[in-house]
Amino acid sequence: MKTVSTQPLNAQAFAPYGQVLECAGDSIAINQGNCQRFHDLAELELDGGETGISLFHAKLRELPYVLDLMERHPLGSQAFVPMSPDGFLILVADDDNGTPVNILAFVSAPNQGINLRKNVWHGVLTPLSGSGMFVVVDRIGDGNNLEEYSLVDPITVLAAQ
Amino acid sequence: MKTVSTQPLNAQAFAPYGQVLECAGDSIAINQGNCQRFHDLAELELDGGETGISLFHAKLRELPYVLDLMERHPLGSQAFVPMSPDGFLILVADDDNGTPVNILAFVSAPNQGINLRKNVWHGVLTPLSGSGMFVVVDRIGDGNNLEEYSLVDPITVLAAQ
């Protein structure tokens, strides 16, 4: 079986797939200096829909993890921020005429979230520890916004050495 | 000094001020049954702006807490979801011709967030424990979206007996 090893999530490596939502870079002091605002971190794509806030409660997974299904959302971006300070596994791929290729595996640091660009192939939500709860900000609206792809050859995701 | 005692946050009591974002009620099973989606929990108000996702890192506070400043956002709603499973203090008030009146103090349970309706008077972000980090979903756009009110008679917020 093919394998892929995880790498730490960082903004530069993740840029082709979306934005890392984290307390990094410039911030704005608000509330008389008692709060730092890391402002407008995501590039939301809604394609005629509206923004919605949902909560997801996902089962915890572990490595090695067998990836056999990927999905993408052709009409909008999708942001995930964990509600406990724990890392999660993020699987993304490039597209080759409707087929996910060049699969990458990231593991976030505590207090990092992501915003996936629309139409980026990704795995399902796979928390590795913590509560398994996430805030999700994505597109609400009409139209078919889900495409799935079953991998003929599943891939085993291994912890970084 | 006037006092107000905290009460547990729940959807019914909070309804005049906004929505409680929590894993309650119906959910949708996704990802082959490995994830529950609590769908579209917030009533976003954007008044000609766009949605943005920001992260806030706020100083921890403790009770009793002296409330001397309230604010409101006339152009949009504002959602706060904690990034650690901890409660936070939520101060809201009714409006009487530009003055906040009938101040209420809620304390959330772990894994509860809120979405404040536009133009609802509220206190600044006051986490009581945990990381002090929050996902914030609010309006990004032109126009003056902040009004502040300094209380002539500050109020002491006490823990519920």
pLDDT of residue A1: 84
- pLDDT > 90 fraction of chain B, expressed in percent and rounded: 96
**CB A12: neighbour CB atoms within 10 A?**
7
User: What token pair was written down for A89?
Assistant: 């596994």
What does pLDDT average to over chain B?
Answer: 96
User: Which of A53, A57, A124 comes nearest B41 by C-beta?
Assistant: A53
pLDDT 10s digits, A109-136: 999 999 999 999 999 999 999 999 999 9
Q: Which domain holds residue A48?
A: 2-158
Residue B23 has pLDDT above 80, yes or no: yes
Q: How much is the average pLDDT of B31-60?
A: 96
What is the rounded distance in angstroms from the CA atom of residue A137 to the CA atom of residue A53?
5
What is the rounded distance in angstroms from the CA atom of residue B36 to the CA atom of residue B22?
12
Shortest CA gap A47–chain B (Å): 13
| Domain at B92, CATH number | 2.60.120.480
- pLDDT > 90 fraction of chain A, expressed in percent and rounded: 96
Q: How much is the average pLDDT of A18-25?
A: 96
pLDDT of residue A136: 98
Q: How confident is the model at residue A161 (pLDDT cuts 50, 70, 90)?
A: confident
Q: How confident is the model at residue B133 (pLDDT cuts 50, 70, 90)?
A: very high
**CB A119: neighbour CB atoms within 10 A?**
16
Q: Burial of B40 by CB count in 10 Å (0-12 exposed, 13-18 middle, 19+ buried)?
A: middle
User: Which of B23, B41, B58 comes nearest A35 by C-beta?
Assistant: B58
Sequence-distant (≥ 6) Cβ neighbours of residue A64 within 8 angstroms: A3, A156, A157, A158, A159
Is B45 strand, coil or helix? coil
Residues in chain A within 8 Å Cβ distance of B20 = none
pLDDT of residue A82: 98
Q: Burial of A94 by CB count in 10 Å (0-12 exposed, 13-18 middle, 19+ buried)?
A: middle
Residues 102-161 of A with CB under 8 A from B: 111, 113, 115, 124-125, 131, 133, 135-137, 140
Give how many domains chain A has, as a whole number.
Answer: 1
- pLDDT > 70 fraction of chain A, expressed in percent and rounded: 100
Assembly ipTM:
0.96
